[in-house]
Amino acid sequence: MRTLAILGGTGNEGAGLAMRWALKGYRVIIGSRAEEKARTRAAEMNAELGADYLTGMANAAAAAAAEIVVLSVPYSAHKSTLSGLREQCAGKLLVDLTVPLQPPEIMAVNLPAGGAAALEAQSLLGSAATVVSAFQNVSAVKLKQLDRDVDCDVLVCADDEAAKALVIELVDAAGMRGIDAGPLKNAVAAESLTPVLLHINRFYKVKGAGIRITGLEQ
């Protein structure tokens, strides 16, 4: 099984994915700016899972040790996190979960200067890394319900078809259905759906609204 580093794995969404993948046999490293915070959070998740599945490291060490890097940080930390990881991510696949929300208007679409967070990630890391956009529209509340699949499709965007297929496998392992949503520039649409879903949650007083693509064979 591959080794995954979840940068921002101390947060709710990153932690939910980390535990789901760990239970499927992946070696999972929790990354954080502070190594001690990563170790502490990994220990907490191991206690919840009942076994020593996860380890914690500082972001750079986690990225260096992994085959696939997953970025799950607020947009405010997106550039600063990636800027120091170009060398560690070279030759690897980076899955970017980031949504460019602009607090306090988190229920309104915000297009960043680079068009999408995933496109900015590719620019920051350079051509040596392969960026895949995925998981923006999945509720952290649902991810933490480890005893069931998540009733949500995941839009996967990338310019590399093999990388896209690999991330769709990760989506399946996490209990969801991955949808090939085209090239990386289509991440603009996927990222923009998140504030729409946040509005739906508030307006209809629900938790964890997601998306389903209809018309496909189940």
What is the reported pLDDT for 9? 87
Confidence of residue 158 (pLDDT cuts 50, 70, 90): very high
**Average pLDDT over all residues of the chain:** 96
What is the reported pLDDT for 217? 75
Q: Are 100 and 136 in contact (CB under 8 A)?
A: no
Residue-wise pLDDT for 122-149, tens only, equals 999 999 999 999 999 999 999 999 999 9
Based on C-alpha coordinates, what's the Rg of the chain? 16
CATH of 3-204, one of 3.30.390.30, 3.40.50.720, 1.10.3720.10, 3.40.309.10: 3.40.50.720
pLDDT at position 92 over 90: yes
What is the reported pLDDT for 185? 98
Q: Are 133 and 187 in contact (CB under 8 A)?
A: yes
Interval 7-34 mean pLDDT: 95
What is the reported pLDDT for 50? 95
pLDDT at position 97 over 70: yes
Cα–Cα distance, 146 to 149 (Å, whole number): 8
Interval 170-190 mean pLDDT: 98
What is the reported pLDDT for 14? 95
Token reading at 209: 């609204």
Interval 179-185 mean pLDDT: 98
What is the reported pLDDT for 218? 57
Interval 112-122 mean pLDDT: 97
Q: Where are the beta strands (DSSP E) in 138-190?
A: 153-156, 177-180
Q: What DSSP string runs through 24-70?
A: TT-EEEEEESSHHHHHHHHHHHHHHHTS--EEEEEHHHHHHH-SEEE
Token reading at 63: 């990225």
Interval 149-156 mean pLDDT: 96
pLDDT at position 106 over 90: yes
pTM: 0.96
pLDDT at position 95 over 80: yes
Domain positions in the chain are 3-204
What is the reported pLDDT for 10? 87
